[in-house]
Amino acid sequence: MRGRLEVITGPMFSGKTEELIDRLRVAQGMGRMVRVYKPKIDGRYSNDAIVSHKGTRFEAVAIPTPDFQSRYEVIGIDEVQFFGDGVVAAIMLLVKRGTRVIASGLDLTFKGEPFEPMPQLLALADNVRKLHARCAKCGEDANRSQRIVSSDAAILVGGPEAYEPRCFSCFDSARGPG
Residue 168 within any structural domain of the chain: no
Residue 165 within any structural domain of the chain: no
DSSP 161: T
pLDDT at 136: 97
Residue 93 has pLDDT above 60, yes or no: yes
The band of 1, judged by pLDDT with boundaries at 50, 70 and 90, is: low
What are the catalytic residues? 79
Of 29-33, 70-74, 120-124, 156-160, the range with the lowest mean pLDDT is 156-160
Q: What is the CATH number of the domain that holds 65?
A: 3.40.50.300
CA distance 51 to 70: 23
Residue 169 within any structural domain of the chain: no
Q: Taken in order 34, 155, 128, 23, is the CA torsion positive or negative?
A: positive
Taking a C-beta distance cutoff of 8 angstroms, is the pair 41, 34 a contact?
Answer: no
| Structural domain containing residue 51 | 4-131
CA distance 93 to 120: 14
Long-range contacts formed by 53-57: CB under 8 A, 24+ apart: 53/13, 53/17, 53/159, 53/160, 54/18, 56/17, 56/18, 56/21, 57/21
Residue 175 has pLDDT above 90, yes or no: no
**Residue type at 13 in one-letter notation:** F
Element (H, E) at 20: helix 16-29
Report the domain count for the chain.
Answer: 1
What mean pLDDT is predicted for residues 102-123?
A: 96
Residue 26 within any structural domain of the chain: yes
Residue 71 within any structural domain of the chain: yes
**pLDDT, tens only, 44-74:** 888 899 998 888 999 999 999 999 988 999 9
Element (H, E) at 133: strand 133-134
Task: Read off the pTM.
Answer: 0.94
